[in-house]
Amino acid sequence: MDLRLSEEQAAVQASVRELAQSRVAPRAAEIDRTATFPRDIVELFRAHDLFGLPFPSAYGGLGGSALTLAVAIEEVARVCATSSLLLAVQALGGYPILLAGSEAQRQRYLPDLASGARLVAYALSEPDAGSDPGGMRTRAVRDGEDYVLSGTKTWITNGGVAELLVVFAVTDPTQGSRGISAFVVDGDSRGLTRNEIGDKMGIRGSSTAELVFDGCRVPAANRLGAEGSGFSTALAVLDRSRPGVAAQALGIAQGALDHAVRYAGERQQFGRAIAEFQGVQFMLADMATQVEAARALVYRAAAMIDAGAEGVTSAAAMAKLFAGDTAMRVTTDAVQVLGGYGYIREFPVERMMRDAKITQIYEGTQQIQRVVIARQLLR
Protein backbone atom coordinates (compact mmCIF):
# COMPACT_ATOMS: atom_id res chain seq x y z
CA MET A 1 0.00 0.00 0.00
CA ASP A 2 1.30 3.44 -0.96
CA LEU A 3 1.99 5.33 2.29
CA ARG A 4 3.13 8.55 0.68
CA LEU A 5 1.15 11.64 1.57
CA SER A 6 -0.82 13.37 -1.16
CA GLU A 7 -0.09 17.01 -1.94
CA GLU A 8 -3.12 18.00 0.11
CA GLN A 9 -2.05 15.87 3.07
CA ALA A 10 1.49 17.22 2.91
CA ALA A 11 0.06 20.74 2.94
CA VAL A 12 -2.02 19.92 6.02
CA GLN A 13 1.06 18.45 7.66
CA ALA A 14 3.11 21.59 6.99
CA SER A 15 0.32 23.90 8.12
CA VAL A 16 -0.35 22.02 11.36
CA ARG A 17 3.37 21.72 12.08
CA GLU A 18 3.81 25.49 11.80
CA LEU A 19 0.74 26.11 13.96
CA ALA A 20 1.89 23.61 16.58
CA GLN A 21 5.42 24.97 16.74
CA SER A 22 4.42 28.63 16.85
CA ARG A 23 1.22 28.57 18.93
CA VAL A 24 0.92 25.29 20.82
CA ALA A 25 4.52 24.60 21.84
CA PRO A 26 4.85 27.82 23.88
CA ARG A 27 1.80 26.77 25.92
CA ALA A 28 2.67 23.11 26.48
CA ALA A 29 4.69 23.40 29.70
CA GLU A 30 2.15 25.74 31.30
CA ILE A 31 -0.76 23.46 30.39
CA ASP A 32 1.07 20.59 32.05
CA ARG A 33 2.18 22.58 35.11
CA THR A 34 -1.24 24.01 35.90
CA ALA A 35 -3.23 20.92 34.79
CA THR A 36 -5.73 23.33 33.23
CA PHE A 37 -7.91 22.45 30.26
CA PRO A 38 -6.53 24.52 27.32
CA ARG A 39 -9.58 26.40 26.11
CA ASP A 40 -7.35 28.76 24.17
CA ILE A 41 -6.05 25.81 22.14
CA VAL A 42 -9.64 24.71 21.51
CA GLU A 43 -10.32 28.19 20.10
CA LEU A 44 -7.14 28.01 18.04
CA PHE A 45 -8.18 24.69 16.51
CA ARG A 46 -11.67 26.03 15.84
CA ALA A 47 -10.26 29.04 14.05
CA HIS A 48 -8.12 26.80 11.83
CA ASP A 49 -10.89 24.22 11.16
CA LEU A 50 -8.86 21.36 12.61
CA PHE A 51 -11.88 19.77 14.27
CA GLY A 52 -13.28 19.20 10.80
CA LEU A 53 -10.55 16.71 9.85
CA PRO A 54 -12.38 13.51 10.95
CA PHE A 55 -15.65 14.34 9.23
CA PRO A 56 -16.90 14.22 5.63
CA SER A 57 -17.57 17.47 3.80
CA ALA A 58 -21.29 16.63 3.70
CA TYR A 59 -21.39 17.41 7.42
CA GLY A 60 -19.16 20.47 7.37
CA GLY A 61 -15.91 18.57 7.72
CA LEU A 62 -12.69 18.53 5.74
CA GLY A 63 -13.08 15.11 4.17
CA GLY A 64 -12.81 12.57 6.97
CA SER A 65 -9.48 11.03 5.93
CA ALA A 66 -8.01 8.91 8.74
CA LEU A 67 -4.50 9.43 7.38
CA THR A 68 -4.84 13.22 7.25
CA LEU A 69 -6.15 13.20 10.82
CA ALA A 70 -3.28 10.99 11.97
CA VAL A 71 -0.74 13.35 10.41
CA ALA A 72 -2.32 16.33 12.19
CA ILE A 73 -2.45 14.55 15.55
CA GLU A 74 1.18 13.52 15.15
CA GLU A 75 2.32 17.08 14.48
CA VAL A 76 0.50 18.50 17.51
CA ALA A 77 1.67 15.65 19.75
CA ARG A 78 5.30 16.45 18.88
CA VAL A 79 4.95 19.51 21.07
CA CYS A 80 1.93 18.86 23.35
CA ALA A 81 0.18 15.54 23.93
CA THR A 82 -2.71 17.17 25.77
CA SER A 83 -3.50 19.41 22.79
CA SER A 84 -3.28 16.55 20.32
CA LEU A 85 -5.88 14.69 22.36
CA LEU A 86 -8.42 17.39 21.52
CA LEU A 87 -8.36 16.25 17.89
CA ALA A 88 -8.24 12.54 18.66
CA VAL A 89 -11.21 12.61 21.05
CA GLN A 90 -13.36 14.78 18.79
CA ALA A 91 -12.96 11.99 16.25
CA LEU A 92 -13.52 9.24 18.83
CA GLY A 93 -16.77 10.79 20.02
CA GLY A 94 -17.97 11.65 16.55
CA TYR A 95 -17.35 8.26 14.93
CA PRO A 96 -20.29 6.46 16.62
CA ILE A 97 -22.65 9.05 15.14
CA LEU A 98 -20.95 8.84 11.76
CA LEU A 99 -20.93 5.02 11.69
CA ALA A 100 -24.20 4.13 13.44
CA GLY A 101 -26.34 7.26 13.39
CA SER A 102 -29.23 7.90 11.04
CA GLU A 103 -28.86 10.57 8.39
CA ALA A 104 -31.02 12.86 10.52
CA GLN A 105 -28.75 12.31 13.51
CA ARG A 106 -25.65 12.97 11.44
CA GLN A 107 -27.10 16.21 10.12
CA ARG A 108 -28.13 17.21 13.63
CA TYR A 109 -24.86 16.58 15.45
CA LEU A 110 -21.88 16.30 13.13
CA PRO A 111 -21.72 19.89 11.80
CA ASP A 112 -21.27 21.21 15.35
CA LEU A 113 -18.54 18.63 15.99
CA ALA A 114 -16.80 19.45 12.70
CA SER A 115 -16.76 23.16 13.48
CA GLY A 116 -15.74 22.59 17.08
CA ALA A 117 -18.83 24.46 18.28
CA ARG A 118 -19.41 21.51 20.58
CA LEU A 119 -16.87 19.15 22.09
CA VAL A 120 -17.79 15.50 22.43
CA ALA A 121 -16.80 12.62 24.72
CA TYR A 122 -16.97 8.84 24.29
CA ALA A 123 -18.30 7.17 27.45
CA LEU A 124 -17.59 3.45 27.38
CA SER A 125 -15.36 2.53 30.35
CA GLU A 126 -16.73 1.93 33.85
CA PRO A 127 -15.13 1.29 37.25
CA ASP A 128 -15.51 -2.48 36.74
CA ALA A 129 -15.55 -2.54 32.94
CA GLY A 130 -12.37 -1.18 31.40
CA SER A 131 -10.69 -3.87 29.32
CA ASP A 132 -14.00 -5.76 29.45
CA PRO A 133 -16.59 -3.25 28.19
CA GLY A 134 -19.02 -6.10 27.64
CA GLY A 135 -19.27 -6.32 31.43
CA MET A 136 -20.66 -2.80 31.80
CA ARG A 137 -23.46 -2.17 34.32
CA THR A 138 -24.83 1.22 33.29
CA ARG A 139 -28.49 0.64 32.43
CA ALA A 140 -30.80 2.32 29.96
CA VAL A 141 -34.44 1.44 30.67
CA ARG A 142 -37.13 2.37 28.16
CA ASP A 143 -39.87 4.61 29.57
CA GLY A 144 -42.29 5.77 26.92
CA GLU A 145 -40.48 8.03 24.45
CA ASP A 146 -37.36 8.15 26.65
CA TYR A 147 -34.68 5.94 28.09
CA VAL A 148 -33.66 6.41 31.72
CA LEU A 149 -29.91 6.05 32.29
CA SER A 150 -28.43 4.97 35.62
CA GLY A 151 -24.81 4.06 36.32
CA THR A 152 -21.26 5.35 36.29
CA LYS A 153 -18.70 5.87 33.56
CA THR A 154 -15.08 6.65 34.38
CA TRP A 155 -11.79 7.72 32.76
CA ILE A 156 -13.80 9.67 30.20
CA THR A 157 -11.59 12.02 28.21
CA ASN A 158 -13.31 15.40 27.70
CA GLY A 159 -15.84 14.15 30.26
CA GLY A 160 -15.76 17.32 32.30
CA VAL A 161 -16.09 19.76 29.39
CA ALA A 162 -17.94 18.05 26.53
CA GLU A 163 -21.26 19.51 25.46
CA LEU A 164 -22.19 16.17 23.90
CA LEU A 165 -21.64 12.61 25.17
CA VAL A 166 -21.91 9.27 23.40
CA VAL A 167 -22.87 6.84 26.16
CA PHE A 168 -23.02 3.05 26.01
CA ALA A 169 -25.50 1.33 28.31
CA VAL A 170 -27.21 -2.02 28.80
CA THR A 171 -30.75 -2.12 27.42
CA ASP A 172 -31.22 -5.90 27.75
CA PRO A 173 -29.19 -7.52 30.56
CA THR A 174 -30.12 -11.02 29.39
CA GLN A 175 -28.19 -10.63 26.12
CA GLY A 176 -24.68 -9.88 27.39
CA SER A 177 -22.71 -7.71 25.00
CA ARG A 178 -25.58 -7.99 22.50
CA GLY A 179 -27.78 -6.14 24.97
CA ILE A 180 -25.73 -2.92 24.85
CA SER A 181 -26.97 0.19 23.06
CA ALA A 182 -25.45 3.60 22.30
CA PHE A 183 -27.01 7.00 22.99
CA VAL A 184 -26.23 10.64 22.33
CA VAL A 185 -26.65 12.56 25.59
CA ASP A 186 -26.63 16.34 25.95
CA GLY A 187 -24.00 17.48 28.43
CA ASP A 188 -26.47 19.60 30.39
CA SER A 189 -29.00 16.77 30.91
CA ARG A 190 -30.65 16.52 34.30
CA GLY A 191 -29.52 13.51 36.28
CA LEU A 192 -25.94 13.78 35.01
CA THR A 193 -23.12 14.62 37.43
CA ARG A 194 -19.51 15.08 36.35
CA ASN A 195 -16.57 14.56 38.70
CA GLU A 196 -13.15 15.59 37.44
CA ILE A 197 -10.30 13.10 37.94
CA GLY A 198 -7.24 15.21 38.68
CA ASP A 199 -3.57 14.94 39.54
CA LYS A 200 -2.76 12.62 36.63
CA MET A 201 0.77 11.55 35.72
CA GLY A 202 0.48 12.85 32.17
CA ILE A 203 -1.89 14.58 29.73
CA ARG A 204 -2.49 16.79 32.73
CA GLY A 205 -4.38 19.49 30.87
CA SER A 206 -6.89 17.05 29.44
CA SER A 207 -10.28 16.84 31.13
CA THR A 208 -10.70 13.31 32.51
CA ALA A 209 -13.91 12.69 34.40
CA GLU A 210 -16.26 10.28 36.09
CA LEU A 211 -19.83 10.57 34.80
CA VAL A 212 -22.66 9.59 37.12
CA PHE A 213 -26.11 9.02 35.62
CA ASP A 214 -28.94 9.03 38.15
CA GLY A 215 -32.29 8.82 36.43
CA CYS A 216 -30.97 10.74 33.43
CA ARG A 217 -33.68 10.86 30.74
CA VAL A 218 -32.59 10.58 27.11
CA PRO A 219 -35.03 10.72 24.17
CA ALA A 220 -35.38 7.41 22.36
CA ALA A 221 -34.64 9.38 19.18
CA ASN A 222 -31.09 9.79 20.51
CA ARG A 223 -30.33 6.07 20.34
CA LEU A 224 -27.72 5.27 17.70
CA GLY A 225 -28.82 2.29 15.64
CA ALA A 226 -31.00 -0.55 16.84
CA GLU A 227 -31.21 -1.72 20.41
CA GLY A 228 -28.39 -4.14 21.10
CA SER A 229 -26.09 -2.79 18.39
CA GLY A 230 -24.00 -0.65 20.73
CA PHE A 231 -21.20 -3.11 21.38
CA SER A 232 -20.54 -3.74 17.70
CA THR A 233 -20.58 0.03 17.18
CA ALA A 234 -18.03 0.49 19.99
CA LEU A 235 -15.67 -2.05 18.42
CA ALA A 236 -16.02 -0.50 14.97
CA VAL A 237 -15.24 2.90 16.43
CA LEU A 238 -12.11 1.63 18.17
CA ASP A 239 -10.86 0.12 14.92
CA ARG A 240 -11.14 3.57 13.39
CA SER A 241 -9.88 5.60 16.36
CA ARG A 242 -6.88 3.56 17.51
CA PRO A 243 -4.65 4.88 14.72
CA GLY A 244 -5.33 8.35 16.19
CA VAL A 245 -3.98 7.29 19.58
CA ALA A 246 -1.09 5.61 17.78
CA ALA A 247 -0.42 8.89 15.96
CA GLN A 248 -0.35 10.67 19.30
CA ALA A 249 2.22 8.18 20.57
CA LEU A 250 4.21 8.60 17.36
CA GLY A 251 4.21 12.38 17.74
CA ILE A 252 5.36 12.18 21.35
CA ALA A 253 8.21 9.87 20.34
CA GLN A 254 9.23 12.10 17.43
CA GLY A 255 9.21 15.17 19.66
CA ALA A 256 11.41 13.45 22.23
CA LEU A 257 13.80 12.29 19.51
CA ASP A 258 14.01 15.84 18.13
CA HIS A 259 15.03 17.18 21.53
CA ALA A 260 17.52 14.36 22.15
CA VAL A 261 19.26 14.88 18.81
CA ARG A 262 19.46 18.63 19.32
CA TYR A 263 20.77 18.28 22.88
CA ALA A 264 23.34 15.65 21.90
CA GLY A 265 24.77 18.02 19.32
CA GLU A 266 25.07 20.85 21.84
CA ARG A 267 26.09 19.13 25.09
CA GLN A 268 29.87 19.11 25.61
CA GLN A 269 31.67 16.45 27.62
CA PHE A 270 35.35 15.52 27.54
CA GLY A 271 35.94 18.38 25.13
CA ARG A 272 33.42 17.39 22.45
CA ALA A 273 29.71 17.04 21.79
CA ILE A 274 28.21 13.87 23.25
CA ALA A 275 26.77 13.16 19.79
CA GLU A 276 30.29 12.17 18.79
CA PHE A 277 30.31 9.26 21.23
CA GLN A 278 29.32 5.93 19.73
CA GLY A 279 27.19 4.95 22.73
CA VAL A 280 24.98 8.01 22.24
CA GLN A 281 24.95 7.55 18.46
CA PHE A 282 23.66 3.99 18.86
CA MET A 283 20.89 5.17 21.20
CA LEU A 284 19.79 7.83 18.74
CA ALA A 285 19.92 5.38 15.83
CA ASP A 286 17.70 2.91 17.68
CA MET A 287 15.29 5.66 18.67
CA ALA A 288 15.02 6.93 15.09
CA THR A 289 14.50 3.42 13.72
CA GLN A 290 11.70 2.72 16.20
CA VAL A 291 10.00 6.00 15.33
CA GLU A 292 10.11 5.30 11.59
CA ALA A 293 8.78 1.78 12.08
CA ALA A 294 5.93 3.15 14.20
CA ARG A 295 5.16 5.76 11.55
CA ALA A 296 4.90 3.06 8.88
CA LEU A 297 2.41 1.07 10.97
CA VAL A 298 0.35 4.15 11.87
CA TYR A 299 0.16 5.47 8.32
CA ARG A 300 -0.60 1.98 7.00
CA ALA A 301 -3.53 1.47 9.38
CA ALA A 302 -4.93 4.91 8.59
CA ALA A 303 -4.52 4.40 4.84
CA MET A 304 -6.33 1.06 5.11
CA ILE A 305 -9.27 2.80 6.79
CA ASP A 306 -9.40 5.37 4.01
CA ALA A 307 -9.26 2.62 1.37
CA GLY A 308 -11.94 0.50 3.05
CA ALA A 309 -9.46 -2.37 3.09
CA GLU A 310 -9.88 -5.61 4.99
CA GLY A 311 -7.78 -6.30 8.07
CA VAL A 312 -8.22 -2.89 9.71
CA THR A 313 -8.91 -4.41 13.14
CA SER A 314 -5.50 -6.06 13.28
CA ALA A 315 -3.67 -3.19 11.58
CA ALA A 316 -5.11 -0.62 13.99
CA ALA A 317 -4.21 -2.76 16.99
CA MET A 318 -0.67 -3.30 15.71
CA ALA A 319 -0.21 0.43 15.15
CA LYS A 320 -1.46 1.28 18.62
CA LEU A 321 0.62 -1.48 20.25
CA PHE A 322 3.89 -0.65 18.52
CA ALA A 323 3.57 3.13 18.58
CA GLY A 324 2.62 3.18 22.27
CA ASP A 325 5.56 0.99 23.22
CA THR A 326 7.83 3.08 20.98
CA ALA A 327 6.72 6.29 22.69
CA MET A 328 7.58 4.84 26.08
CA ARG A 329 10.99 3.53 24.97
CA VAL A 330 12.02 6.61 23.00
CA THR A 331 10.98 9.12 25.67
CA THR A 332 12.79 7.09 28.34
CA ASP A 333 15.93 7.06 26.19
CA ALA A 334 15.57 10.79 25.52
CA VAL A 335 15.60 11.43 29.27
CA GLN A 336 18.76 9.29 29.44
CA VAL A 337 20.44 11.26 26.66
CA LEU A 338 19.72 14.51 28.47
CA GLY A 339 20.89 13.05 31.77
CA GLY A 340 20.08 15.22 34.77
CA TYR A 341 18.50 17.85 32.52
CA GLY A 342 16.10 15.24 31.21
CA TYR A 343 14.85 14.70 34.75
CA ILE A 344 13.69 18.26 35.36
CA ARG A 345 10.72 20.14 33.98
CA GLU A 346 12.84 22.83 32.37
CA PHE A 347 13.27 20.42 29.45
CA PRO A 348 10.18 18.87 27.78
CA VAL A 349 11.36 15.26 27.55
CA GLU A 350 10.36 14.72 31.20
CA ARG A 351 6.79 15.71 30.32
CA MET A 352 6.88 13.63 27.16
CA MET A 353 7.92 10.55 29.12
CA ARG A 354 4.97 11.02 31.51
CA ASP A 355 2.58 11.68 28.64
CA ALA A 356 3.78 8.61 26.72
CA LYS A 357 2.57 6.18 29.36
CA ILE A 358 -1.12 6.78 28.73
CA THR A 359 -0.76 5.69 25.11
CA GLN A 360 -0.08 2.18 26.42
CA ILE A 361 -3.32 2.25 28.43
CA TYR A 362 -6.30 4.03 26.89
CA GLU A 363 -8.39 2.80 23.97
CA GLY A 364 -7.33 -0.70 24.98
CA THR A 365 -4.22 -1.60 26.96
CA GLN A 366 -1.24 -3.11 25.17
CA GLN A 367 -2.31 -6.50 26.51
CA ILE A 368 -5.73 -6.06 24.89
CA GLN A 369 -4.09 -5.10 21.59
CA ARG A 370 -2.18 -8.39 21.67
CA VAL A 371 -5.43 -10.26 22.31
CA VAL A 372 -7.05 -8.50 19.34
CA ILE A 373 -4.10 -9.24 17.03
CA ALA A 374 -3.89 -12.90 18.08
CA ARG A 375 -7.63 -13.43 17.61
CA GLN A 376 -7.43 -12.00 14.10
CA LEU A 377 -4.53 -14.30 13.31
CA LEU A 378 -6.26 -17.39 14.63
CA ARG A 379 -9.73 -16.83 13.16
Domains along the sequence of the chain with CATH:
7-115 (1.10.540.10), 120-228 (2.40.110.10), 231-378 (1.20.140.10)
Residue-level pLDDT, tens digit, the chain, 379 residues: 667 899 999 999 999 999 999 999 999 999 999 999 999 999 999 999 999 999 999 999 999 999 999 999 999 999 999 999 999 999 999 999 999 999 999 999 999 999 999 999 999 999 998 888 889 999 999 999 999 999 999 999 999 999 999 999 999 999 999 999 999 999 999 999 999 999 999 999 999 999 999 999 999 999 999 999 999 999 999 999 999 999 999 999 999 999 999 999 999 999 999 999 999 999 999 999 999 999 999 999 999 999 999 999 999 999 999 999 999 999 999 999 999 999 999 999 999 999 999 999 999 999 999 999 999 999 8
Phi first, then psi: give them for residue 29, nearest 5 degrees: -65, -40
What phi-psi label fits residue 86: left (phi over 0), alpha (psi between -120 and 50 degrees) or beta?
Answer: alpha
Exposure string of 152-184, with b = 16+ CB inside 10 Å and e = fewer, is: bbbbbbbbbbbebbbbbbbbeeeeebebbbbbb
The residue count for the chain:
379
Point out the catalytic residue in the list 210, 227, 350, 363: 363
Active site includes 276? no
The number of CA neighbours under 13 Å toward the Cβ of 378 is: 6
Q: How many CB atoms lie within 10 A of CB 236?
A: 17
**Alpha-carbon distance 299 to 316, whole Å?**
10
Helix (H) / strand (E) containing 44: helix 39-47
1: CB partners within 8 A, 6+ apart: 300, 303, 304, 307, 309
**Alpha-carbon distance 244 to 74, whole Å?**
8
